[in-house]
Chains A and B, each alone.
Chain A
Amino acid sequence: MKLKDCHNFEDFRKLAKKKLPSPIFHYIDGGADDEVTLNRNTSSFNDYDLVPSVLNDVSNIDMSTTVLGEKIDFPLFPAATAMHRLYHHEGERASAKAAEKMGTIFGTSTMGTVSIEEIAKVNKGPKLFQLYIHKDRGLTDNLLERCKKAGFSSMCLTVDTVVAGNRERDRRTGFTTPPKLTLGSLLSFALHPGWTINNLIHEKFKLANIVHMTQKGTSIDKSVIDYINEQFDPAMNWKDAEYCVKKWNGPFALKGVMSVEDAKKAIDIGCTAIMISNHGGRQLDGSRAPFDQLAEIVDAVGDKIEVILDGGVRRGTHVLKALCIGAKACSFGKGYLFALAAGGQKGVEKILENMKTEINRDMKLMGCKNLGELNRSKLIHRK
């Protein structure tokens, strides 16, 4: 299997599985507890059907939209995710370049492995930084200031990770600290020499944004779970979020809002957008899927704040369905991460290209010329 054989999410996933040592593959692929929410995130889209209109002259389709103050070519962007250099030795450089080339926002995580400054060098397009509030509050200020200076266009604060989710695959594969080298995981690293060699010969793995601030940032012989539980501040509250909004003084999103009550508070503290998200099913299993919750949120706050759907998106039609309900745009994580693992920058470009093509084709088949024409009359809930 090669990159050119990757036509959809499942293909990229398969190729990533082939290329990655299994603990790393399962770190991307897995969810919390029984993965009920992980699975529902995608299956929720299938409870709704699209109803096309025909004979509408669809020779020209405009897929562009404006989110977080930036115009993007199509309504999907890569969500901020941790540690890209684990998946491909070029890491965030590859994904950042791909996003710029495809004309969409690039999201990068506090837990990134290429620094804010370097990303700004390789990506001149719209960039979003995803903030985690650490117990060390000095780190928050430092990150906000560096992003401003580096020219990031928007900021997002993740609020669904006050404690790490129960990712049982990681416990089994030994994606923990110190790297639990079980016979199985050792074997898996040995069986994926390409990954292992690249990992060894390229620069040392580090959490580039926070390496100077914390001891913990210097290596990955700390599990992500332990890192989150030791470093992130569970006392984080609305005052802290408001502080960040004010300090950033630009387009700001809260990532991981699920209740209407919280969506309203996000407006009160001056946010530009909320990302309806359960962290891709990696945190609270049994929690509602973003798509299931979308209508309720849009009805309450859709006219006052940008609503971005994050989680479970695998197909162009999923994006269309979310936009029909009233989302401004969607973001996705696993899709482009598998593509990154499968083929570096080329891989990410390819999956973004695929999704863009799907959205374009699906718009035509729906008889819609621009995103504004997508609305709830085009969507029926299957009883």
Chain B
Amino acid sequence: MNLKDCHNFSDFKKLAKKKLPSPIFHYIDGGADDEITLNRNTSSFNDVDLVPNVLRGVEDVDLSTTIFGKKIDLPFYCASTALQRLFHYDGERAVGKAAQKFNTMFGVSALSTVSVEEIASLIDTPKMFQFYFHKDRGLNDAVLERVKAAKFDVMALTVDTITGGNRERDLRTGFTSPPKLTLSSLFSFASKPMWGINYLTKGKFELPHLQDHVSEGTNIATSIGDYFSTMLDQSMNWKDAEKLCSQWGGHFALKGIMSVEDAKRAVDIGCSGIMVSNHGGRQLDGSRSPFDQLAAIVDAVGDKMDVICEGGIQRGTHILKALSIGAKACSGGRLYLYALAGAGQAGVERALSQYRAEIERDMKLMGCNKISDLNRNNLRYRKI
């Protein structure tokens, strides 16, 4: 299987599976506990059907939208995800450049493996930094200042990882600390020699935003779950978020809001948007899917802030459905991560261009010329 055989999400996933040592593939692919939420994130889209309008004259379609004060050419963007150089040696460089090519937002994780300074020097399109609130306040301040200096457009505080989710695949494959090299994981690393060679030869693996502050930053000999549980501040509360928001002084979002009550508080503390998200099903299994919860959130705060629907997106029509309910845009992780793992920047570009083509085709088939033409009239919930 090659990049040119990849026509959809599951093709990219297959390619990634082929290329990656299995602990790494399963780190991306897996979710918490029984993965009920992970699966529901996608299947929830199928309980709602689109109702097209016809004969609208759709030769030109405008897919642009404005989020956090920035106009982007696509109604979705690359969600911030950790450790991208584990997936492909170019890591965030590849994803950032691909996002720039399509003029969409690029989300950079606190656990990124390329520095904010380098990313800022590589791309001049909209950038979002995803913040983790550490116990070490000195670290928090330093990161914030660096991101400010690098002129990122948006700061997003992730609020759904107060402790690590129970990712059982990682326990089994040995994606833990210290790397539990089971017989089968050893075999998997050995059977994907290209990954190993690239990993060893294309620059040292680092977590540039953390490494000056903590020994955990220097290598991945700590699991992500342990990182969340030991380094992040579990006492984080609304005051901290509010303080951070004003310290940042620009567009600020909370990532991982699910309740209407919290969405309203996000407005109160001065956020310009929220990501309705359950972290791609990787944290609290059995929690509601973003798409299922979207209407309630949009009804409560949709006129006061940008609501982003994040998680489970595998098709252009999924994005259209979320936009019809009132999301300002969508974002996703796996929708570009498998492509990154499969073929680096070229892979991410192919994935983004396929989503763009799908959205454009689907807009035409819906009889819509611009994103704001989509509304709830276009949707019907299946009776159950």
Q: Is B33 an interface residue (CB 8 A)?
A: no
Contacts of A256 in B (CB 8 A): 54
Residue pair B358, A166 in contact (C-beta under 8 Å) = yes
* Structural contact, A258 and B51, CB atoms closer than 8 A: yes
Structural contact, A286 and B364, CB atoms closer than 8 A? no
- Contact in complex: A286, B50 (CB < 8 Å): yes
User: Chain A residues near B317 (CB, 8 Å)?
Assistant: 33, 284-287
6 contacts between A and B (CB under 8 A): A162-B58, A162-B365, A166-B358, A234-B58, A284-B317, A287-B50
Q: Which residues of B contact A47 (CB under 8 A)?
A: 383
- In this complex, what residue of B is CB-closest to A255? B54
4 A-B pairs with least C-beta separation = A288-B49, A286-B317, A159-B54, A284-B365
Interface size class of A (residues with CB under 8 A): 35 or more
Name B331-372 residues within 8 Å CB distance of A: 358, 361-362, 364-366
Measured between beta carbons, the chain A residues less than 8 angstroms from B320 are 286
A165 at the interface (CB under 8 A from B): yes
Closest to B42 in A: A34
Q: In the complex, how many angstroms separate the beta carbon of B373 from the nearest chain A beta carbon?
A: 13
* Interface hits, B6-31 → A, CB 8 Å: 7-8
Taken together as a complex, chains A and B put the C-alpha atoms of A383 and B54 apart, in Å, by: 32
B51 and A283 within 8 A (CB): no
Q: Using Cβ atoms and an 8 Å threshold, which residues of chain A touch B57?
A: 234-237
* B361 in contact with A288 (CB, 8 Å): no
A160 is an interface residue with CB less than 8 A from chain B? yes
- The residue in chain B whose Cβ has the minimal distance to the Cβ of A234 is B59
> Which of B46, B321, B365 contacts A163, CB < 8 Å?
B365
A256-275 vs B, CB cutoff 8 Å, 1 = contact: the mask equals: 11110110010000000000
Within 8 A of B (CB), among A36-60: 36-37, 40, 47
Q: How far is the CA of A335 from the CA of B134 in the complex (A)?
A: 62
- How far apart are A204's CB and chain B's nearest CB, in angstroms? 32
Interface centre among B45, B52, B380, B383 (most CB of A within 10 A): B52
- Name the residue on B nearest A257 (C-beta): B54
Q: How far is the CA of A256 from the CA of B365 in the complex (A)?
A: 10
- Shortest CB-to-CB span from A360 to chain B, Å, is 30
Q: Which of B37-81 contact A (CB under 8 A)?
A: 45-46, 49-59
Q: Report if B169 contacts A (CB, 8 A).
A: no
Residues in A with CB closer than 8 Å to B361 are 163-166
Inter-chain contact A241/B7, CB cutoff 8 Å: no
- A322 on the B face (CB < 8 A): no
Shortest beta-carbon distance, B10 to chain A, in Å? 9
A287→B52 contact, CB < 8 A: yes
Q: CB-nearest residue of chain A relative to B50?
A: A287
Contacting B49 at CB < 8 Å: which of A40, A159, A166, A233? A40
On chain A, the residues within 8 Å of B384 by CB distance are: 383
A187-210 vs B, Cβ < 8 Å mask (1 yes, 0 no): 000000000000000000000000
Interface check A289, CB cutoff 8 A: yes
CB distance from A259 to the nearest CB of B (A): 5
* Given A258-B53, A265-B55, A278-B52, 16 additional A-B pairs, CB 8 A: A33-B8, A40-B49, A47-B383, A160-B54, A168-B8, A234-B59, A235-B57, A235-B59, A257-B54, A259-B52, A259-B53, A283-B365, A286-B315, A287-B50, A288-B50, A288-B51
Question: A236 CA to B51 CA in the complex, in Å?
Answer: 19
